[in-house]
Amino acid sequence: MPYLLVERYTFFKHDEEIKIEKTDENNFKMSYYGKTPKLYNLNFKDVLISPGDTIDLIYNRTNIDPANPRDTIVAKGKHSGNYVFSNFIVAMKPASSYPDHNQSKYQNNFPLLFKILDENNKKDIQLLSITLEKYSDNKDLNEYLKRKTRLNLFYDLLYYKDKFRNNLSQQKAVEKVIDSVFLHTTYVKSDTTFAYFMEIAFKNYFDKILIPRFNNLKFGTDVSALVKYIAAYPNPFISTYFVYFLATDRRDIIAKYPSDELDMLIKENPHIGKDRNQILNREHIYK
């Protein structure tokens, strides 16, 4: 029996802006009530849905395996390019290339290794740009995908941080680069309407870089130092997520060490009280 899994990969829960109706045994009608374009996932395939879309969509999945997508989407109608771009993104996705950190030329020379990672990432973005110019005319979507690809560099660096876990000097060198890359990567608030890739990066940086750096918050002095760091962080958009993670994921710890400064950050935070989204929810499956 055909089914339709419709989800938005958002970090926080969101109000539904869609209505799904089954028109016959093999087809569904999806109505969208949003006022701005949103990225939805239909049976593990990303499509950008815009107000005013009128699309005849033929969807076929020959192998339901998220790790090995074999999808075909044929779209005709207004804004049809929004529905087909991900076919080409999957087709052109480059294989990840990780230089062997054990090679002698990289020993105690992480800047050289980073140079290669950075160059590879820029090549990926260039290839993506060429593909998007050919198949997608949505500027906002195209720029979002480029930013998402750039953020892959951050995850590459986390990979090497783990690889150098037994080499303290190299690990410190990696962390220094991670800090710089993370801080100087372009983040756009509206990307949260597409997917949660950006917020997940914030979460990874908080958990894998900041928490260990502040002694895993073992003492009140560690909590106080982290709070001061967050309060002074140069990008307020990112720091609001740090406050959210500290207040929600470490609530038992911060309860032991009251802080007026943290209380003020929490009071002013726009995310406190929001619930996180749960994907692969059976409620999102239509049959």
- Give the residues across from 234 on adjacent strands: none
The pLDDT value recorded for residue 118 is: 95
65 and 19 together in one domain: yes
**What local confidence, expressed as pLDDT, does residue 263 receive?**
96
The answer to whether position 281 is within a domain reads no
The C-alpha atoms of residue 74 and residue 129 are separated, in whole angstroms, by 22
Average pLDDT over residues 73-91: 72
Residues 154 and 236 in one domain: no
Can you give the pTM of this predicted structure? 0.89
Tell me if 165 is assigned to some domain: yes
pLDDT of the residue at 228: 98
Within this chain, do residues 29 and 88 fall inside the same structural domain, yes or no?
yes
Whether residue 188 sits in one domain with residue 110: yes
Tens-digit pLDDT profile for residues 32-77: 899 988 988 888 778 888 888 887 777 665 555 556 555 566 777 8
Does residue 255 have a pLDDT over 90?
yes
Residues 7/40, Cβ–Cβ less than 8 Å? yes
185 with 245, same domain: the answer is no
Q: What is the pLDDT of residue 15?
A: 86
d(CA 152, CA 155): 5
Given a cut of 60, is residue 106 above it in pLDDT? yes
- Residues 130 and 164 both lie in one domain: yes
Residues 89 and 168 both lie in one domain: no
Residue the block writes with tokens 């990008």: 235
Between these two residues, 212 and 37, which has the higher pLDDT value? 212
Same domain assignment for residues 153 and 229: no
Q: For residue 206, tell me if it sits in a domain.
A: no
One domain for residues 80 and 157? no
Residue 96 binned pLDDT confidence (cut-offs 50, 70, 90): low
pLDDT for residue 109 is more than 70: yes
Portion of the chain with pLDDT greater than 70, in percent: 90
Distance from C-alpha of 164 to C-alpha of 160, rounded to nearest angstrom: 6
Helix (H, G, I), strand (E, B) or coil at 212: helix
Among 130, 164, 196, the domain-final residue is 196
Whether residue 282 is contained in a domain is answered as no
Residue 115, in any domain of the structure:
yes
CA distance to 110, 154, 157, 173, 229, per residue, from 170 (Å): 7, 16, 12, 5, 24
Q: pLDDT of 122-172, one tens digit each?
A: 998 998 898 888 877 788 888 999 999 999 999 999 999 999 988 888 899
Q: Domain check: are 123 and 164 in the same one? A: yes
- Whether residue 99 is contained in a domain is answered as no
> Is residue 279 included in any domain, yes or no?
no
**Confidence (pLDDT) at 253:** 97
User: What residue numbers bound the domain in which 252 lies?
Assistant: 214-273
Looking at the 3D structure of the chain, how many domains does it have? 3
Q: Tell me what pLDDT residue 71 has.
A: 55
Quick check: 196 pLDDT over 90?
yes
**Residue 286 pLDDT > 60, yes or no?**
yes
Residue 203 in any domain: the answer is no
Last residue of a domain, one of 45, 65, 93: 93
Q: What pLDDT is stored for residue 60 in this prediction? A: 64
